[in-house]
């Protein structure tokens, strides 16, 4: 995925504040609110795509969209992991640059190709700037975790000016989501000291889930391929192909076999940028 220049300056682009300087608590509230607004913008964009696909197309690649704002406790924990001690009173810019998933959106899709397609549809929008893409589908984590993570920046338009906000968007299939939520529960149940046999089981389950994703994807492409054939040809196939010119039949079957019929999504693999 190519980097594009944002339609706004990379830094905070506010007009001079009219109000007196904010107190730390109020600044924290503002900081969290800005992330909430950015998160809501991304959710709205995805909901629009979901509604468009539902009402104007015959297929909706988005199963589910959810979002969460990181809790203060979780943020402090992650700051610690990233070497930012709260006692040292790090600046908001320092927090923003180290903890990049304060605003998180999760998109669940049916198929792996949909994951890449929806990620593309979101990140190609003019006011969405890609900061980083981590493809844990192409390169799963050692524990078996698979998802496509896109860190994006969106402009939030406030009364005092425009604020660029980072949002982490996780795209995954239903099977990947099922695995990740179980792994998350196990991880917390064992307070991160998960027995080796459970870790091995999770690793196997991740591979099984991915094998299921691959089979479902293939079947889905085959069905879409058949649907995409022209109606007269479908009619001939339904009623026996004897009257079909051999070269046309061969070409149609060839397209089906190579996955070209109906133009299935190419699933351009996102790379880390
Ligand atoms: P929560 O509860 O979602 O807030 P980094 O040091 O930058 O490489 P970072 O910042 O954790 O590591 O980034 P990464 O790896 O992209 O992970 C960000 C989020 O992805 C996590 O947020 C999880 O939501 C999810 N995630 C990543 N790895 C795993 C995994 O192995 N299992 C599960 N179940 N989820 C994972 P948080 O803050 O960890 O959690």
What would the pLDDT profile of 40-55 be if each residue is shown by its tens digit? Answer: 999 999 999 999 999 9
Give the pLDDT score at 141: 97
Asked if residue 175 lies in contact with residue 212, where contact means CB atoms within 8 angstroms, the answer is: yes
- Homologous superfamily of 22-194: Beta Polymerase, domain 2 (3.30.460.10)
- Which ligand 1 atom sits closest to the C-alpha of 82? 6
| CB neighbourhood size of 118 (10 A) | 24
Q: Could you tell me if the CB of 180 is within 6 A of ligand 1?
A: yes
Give the pLDDT score at 118: 98
Q: Could you tell me if the CB of 136 is within 6 A of ligand 1?
A: no
Q: Is the pLDDT of residue 130 over 90?
A: yes
Give the pLDDT score at 144: 97
Report how far residue 210's alpha carbon sits from residue 192's, in angstroms, rounded to the nearest whole number.
Answer: 24
Phi, psi of 167 (to 5 degrees): -135, 130
SS3 56: helix
Q: What tens digit of pLDDT does each residue of 212-256 get?
A: 999 999 998 888 776 665 666 656 655 654 444 556 655 655 555
Asked if residue 97 lies in contact with residue 166, where contact means CB atoms within 8 angstroms, the answer is: no
Give the pLDDT score at 121: 98
123 Cα to the center of ligand 1, angstroms: 20
| DSSP for 103-129, written as a single string | EEEEEEESSHHHHHHHHHHHHTSTT-E
Q: Which residue is closest in CA terms to ligand 1's atom 29?
A: 145
Phi, psi of 260 (to 5 degrees): -90, -25
Q: In the numeric block, which tokens belong to residue 269?
A: 């693999």
Give the pLDDT score at 89: 84
Q: Which of 27-31, 110-114, 241-245 is predicted least confidently? A: 241-245
184 Cα to the center of ligand 1, angstroms: 10
Give the pLDDT score at 29: 92
Q: Which uninterrupted H or E stretch holds 151?
A: strand 148-158
Domain ranges of the chain: 22-194, 200-257
């Amino acid at each position: 995925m190519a980097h594009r220049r944002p339609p706004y300056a990379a830094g905070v682009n506010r007009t001079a504040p009219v109000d007196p300087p904010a107190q730390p608590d109020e600044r924290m509230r503002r900081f969290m609110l800005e992330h909430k607004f950015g998160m809501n913008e991304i959710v709205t964009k995805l909901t629009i795509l979901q509604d468009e696909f539902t009402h104007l197309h015959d297929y909706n690649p988005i199963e589910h969209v959810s979002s969460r704002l990181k809790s203060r406790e979780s943020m402090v924990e992650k700051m610690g992991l990233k070497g930012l001690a709260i006692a040292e009173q790090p600046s908001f810019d320092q927090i923003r640059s180290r903890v990049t998933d304060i605003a998180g959106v999760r998109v669940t899709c049916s198929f792996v190709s949909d994951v890449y397609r929806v990620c593309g549809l979101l990140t190609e929008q003019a006011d969405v700037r890609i900061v980083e893409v981590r493809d844990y589908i192409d390169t799963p984590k050692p524990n078996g975790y698979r998802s496509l993570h896109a860190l994006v920046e969106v402009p939030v338009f406030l009364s005092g000016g425009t604020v660029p906000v980072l949002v982490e968007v996780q795209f995954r299939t239903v099977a990947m989501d099922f695995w990740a939520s179980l792994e998350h529960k196990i991880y917390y149940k064992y307070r991160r000291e998960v027995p080796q046999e459970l870790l091995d089981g999770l690793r196997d389950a991740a591979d099984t889930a991915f094998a299921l994703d691959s089979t479902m994807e293939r079947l889905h492409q085959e069905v879409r391929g058949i649907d995409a054939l022209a109606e007269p040809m479908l009619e001939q196939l339904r009623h026996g192909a004897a009257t079909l010119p051999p070269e046309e039949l061969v070409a149609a079957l060839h397209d089906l076999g190579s996955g070209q019929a109906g133009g299935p999504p190419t699933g351009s693999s996102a790379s880390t940028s």
